[in-house]
Amino acid sequence: MKFIFSFFIAVALFIGSGEKSFAIDFNEGQFRARMGKGLTYRTQDRDFKASLKGVSQVDGIWLNTNETLSSTDSGIRRGRLTFGMQLYRDWDVRATYDFTANPLDERGFQDLYLRYSGIRRTRIYLGNMREPIGLDWLTSSRNTLFMERAQMTALIPPLHLGMAANTYGRKWAVFTGIFGERLQDGINEGNGWGVSGRVVYTPFQTRQNILHVGLSGSHREPAENIRAFTNDHQVFDAEITRFSSIGRVRNFSQIFVTELAASHGSASMQFEYLRTFTDRQQLLKPPEFDSWYIQAGWIMTGEKRHYSRISRTFDGIKPNSKFNLNSGIGAWEVGVRYGELSSVGQKHFGDKENNLTLGVNWYPTDYMRVMANYIRVQSDLDFSRIPSPRNKHANIFAMRVQIEF
């Protein structure tokens, strides 16, 4: 009860506070602070810029009818600070740390890279980052339609050390990179490595209509000591998909993903299909998987999601009218998603898991979001217990307050 009380007190305080911003000018530059945009300092010649911003996501789980199948806990889902620095306009440094890591060590770093953007419509990255695979995985957790990403993302590699590049035109974008292991695994000759790529084509891209078609894939040579399959429930991973019976799987040799998305005004649709392949010769061959989901969303108050030409993902929503006690109601959004994840040719591991999610999002301001999700999970696919559960299900109701600062 104490958590629930604190949860709604936090909502009331931030709604009532309104947007706060201020700027201080110096001879050498300007210091600015703005809620939702963080702190920034920029020199007058614009050759140097530094910023610090953060996001907090606090979840409350009010119903879970099967915690054995889908373990869920109330509390801070993500608590992040991001430091950015720009040098001579073409060089950028970005470091994002998630303070929900326990213990607080290098595992808490999310993005940690150097970026060069001095080539027209091209960016080059070096450091710790996401591999360019799939639309849902590359969409920031700040902007996803639902509290958690689709089950499919459990089959995509976590953030890895590597070097990547992307270039884009008016209707197309290409992403590619070579990657090692996770930041906490360091760099040594026994680590796994892989190459990933993504191609996106948008034949229609106007203010009202977007059609997005994408293909992405990855080939990976695993680490020498990797097990037949790996479930990462016990390893800190801020991006692991919750409300599912399966943790992150890291046993693939190849991944292939197709993407299809469309938006018309305030309505949107998104579909992805993923297939993993294994070609390692082992006594116990790791299972292969396929997974897909389809989702639809509608912003009832008429706003539209912005589409990024650089990342080829959908961004968040800025309400036309911010909430106030007189007339503003903010922005309201509803969504539905159905997804499945299945093992292929490995019946002793179980057959499949499906997930139905219904969601309502409220944006009282452009830096705050309140989310409510109902999730129905049905599964006989689970690596965390042997034998796998048969025909188990869970009904979950969860809420989240997200604040960017």
Q: Which of 189-193, 259-263, 339-343, 346-350 has the lowest mean pLDDT?
A: 346-350
* pLDDT above 60 for 3: no
**DSSP SS3 for 284:** coil
Instruction: Write down the mean pLDDT value for the chain.
Output: 86
Burial class (CB in 10 A: 0-12, 13-18, 19+), 2: exposed
Q: State the pLDDT confidence band at 400, using cuts at 50, 70 and 90.
A: very high
Confidence check: pLDDT of 20 > 80 = no
Output the pTM of the full model: 0.88
- Residue linked to tokens 């219904």: 358
pLDDT beyond 50 at 386: no
> What is the DSSP secondary-structure string of 287-317?
PEEEEEEEEEEEETT-----B-TTT-SB---
Whether pLDDT at 106 is above 70: yes
What number is the average pLDDT over the span 242-258?
85
| 3-state DSSP assignment of residue 154 | helix
Helix, coil or strand: residue 153: helix
DSSP state of 6: H
Contact status, residue 178 vs residue 163, Cβ threshold 8 Å: yes
Q: Which two tokens stand for residue 217?
A: 């894939």
Burial category of 302 from C-beta neighbours within 10 Å (exposed 0-12, middle 13-18, buried 19 and up): exposed
Give the pLDDT band (50/70/90) at residue 279.
Answer: confident
For the ranges 121-125, 193-197, 228-232, 326-330, the lowest mean pLDDT is seen at 228-232
pLDDT bucket at 25, cuts 50 / 70 / 90: confident
Is residue 12 scored above 70 in pLDDT?
no
pLDDT digits (tens, 9 = 90+) for 346-385: 655 557 899 999 999 999 999 999 999 999 999 887 554 4
Q: Which CA distances in Å does 49 have to 46, 87, 120, 240, 324?
A: 7, 7, 20, 32, 34
Measured between its terminal Cα atoms, the distance across the chain in Å is: 27
Residue scoring higher pLDDT (87 or 222) = 87
Residue ranges and CATH numbers for the domains of the chain are 2-20+54-78+130-404 (2.40.160.10)
